[in-house]
Amino acid sequence: MQPQIGQVYKIDPPPEGIHPSEAAAEDVILKWTLSRHFNVSRQKVERNKNGDIRTRLSACDRSGEPKNTRHLREGDRVRTMRGSKRMGCPMRIKIVAVDENNTEGPWKIAHTRDESTKHNHPTSLDVRVHVGHRQRSSQQSTAPEVSTVNDFIFFYQMAAGVSVSKVYTTLLLTDTSSLFIPKDIANVKDAKRRNLLATDTVIEALFRKLTEHGFHFKYEVNEDSRRLKYLLWAHPETLKLAQHYMGVEVVDCTYKTNKHNWPLCNIIVLTGLNNVLPLAQCWLPGEAELNYTWRSLNLSHYSETILSRYPAFCNRSRPGVYEWK
């Protein structure tokens, strides 16, 4: 948005008054700006003789001028859609300690000479364009149960690789007043992924997590490319339960579960009540007999070390490709 030269917009500022603390005074300002569809950010501070902050000046988040460290002209810019929101807005407001020597005591909101009302832009049509309000909304929630639901959605949907658009849709269904935008969700996913990987590769992090949670797993690496070729994993508790229902094993593949187009082989057994009990899962590079042989041989390792017996019959739910007795 470009500044409207000569135009002045008057937006009501937070009322002057005394508040119990610096945080309380600042919170009043931020809640007021949220309701009026604009925002302010911290600028300069003044300190007392002891070095404590006694005055804090805030300015409209559209104050200042866009940074142009490369001294580019408008016609030379390549990323034209990433314009700055800074437009030289003159609005300022400050909070001041009532007693400059007691900064832990009450603070007051003070207007500037123009009563902190003058802006060179109108209020925003959508308050979500202000990053500060979105960030505070993600950290503070007036409804704890909604915050818990959001945390649940973020953790499990992002861990399962659900797309940003679907996470955003689910989030709006649980909290219609959320200030999140899809970019915020993408940033959270990227940050969590970086923290999870740390200095590991993706496969190293996967093996670390499987080990931490006690999973039994087998894998094979391609000797030429050193890329992962097979991966079989099973939860120890599931293997214990499967000891009682190993009469029949059913194997089938799921498709389009990853960007590499590898089939995900699901291995299940049926209980006495005809309920499905997952036994193990395996990433396969294909559906040839060689691929299923690798799965069978490595799964038989658990039958010897953990399971009391191995199924007498194994069959895929898509017959004709591979079956054995």
Please indicate, yes or no, whether residues 193 and 237 belong to a single structural domain of this protein. no
- Per-residue model confidence (pLDDT) at position 317: 45
123 & 212 share domain: no
Residues with pLDDT less than 50, the chain: 1-5, 141-149, 313, 315, 317-325
Is 76 within the bounds of a domain? Answer: no
CA–CA separation, 97 and 31 (whole Å): 20
Q: Give the C-alpha distances (Å, rounded to integers) separating 306 from 213, 235, 280.
A: 17, 12, 13
Shared domain for 121 and 17, answered yes or no, is yes
Asked if the structure places residue 154 within a domain, the reply is yes
The confidence score (pLDDT) of residue 82 equals 60
Residue 134 lies in a domain: no
Q: Identify the pLDDT of residue 320.
A: 44
Give whole-number Cα distances, 251 to 22, 52, 271, in Å.
Answer: 64, 69, 15
Q: Quick one: 299 and 250 in the same domain?
A: yes
- Could you tell me the residue range of the domain that residue 56 belongs to? 9-63+84-127
Q: Are residues 52 and 121 in the same domain?
A: yes
What is the distance between the terminal CA atoms of the chain, rounded to a whole angstrom? 71
In a domain, 34, yes or no: yes
123 and 15 within one domain: yes
Residue 78 lies in a domain: no
One domain for residues 251 and 283 = yes
Q: State the total domains in the chain.
A: 3
Same domain, residue pair 230 and 302 = yes
Q: Is residue 135 part of a domain?
A: no
pLDDT tens readout for residues 259-317: 777 888 888 887 777 788 888 888 888 888 888 888 877 877 665 555 555 555 454 54
Same domain for 18 and 117, yes or no, is yes
Among left, alpha and beta (phi > 0; psi -120 to 50; other), residue 198 is left
Asked if residue 70 is part of any domain, the answer here is no
What pLDDT, on a 0 to 100 scale, did the predictor assign at position 246?
A: 66
The pTM assigned to this predicted structure is 0.54
Q: Are residues 156 and 251 in the same domain?
A: no
Residue 274 resides in a domain: yes
Asked if 217 and 294 sit in the same domain, the reply is: yes
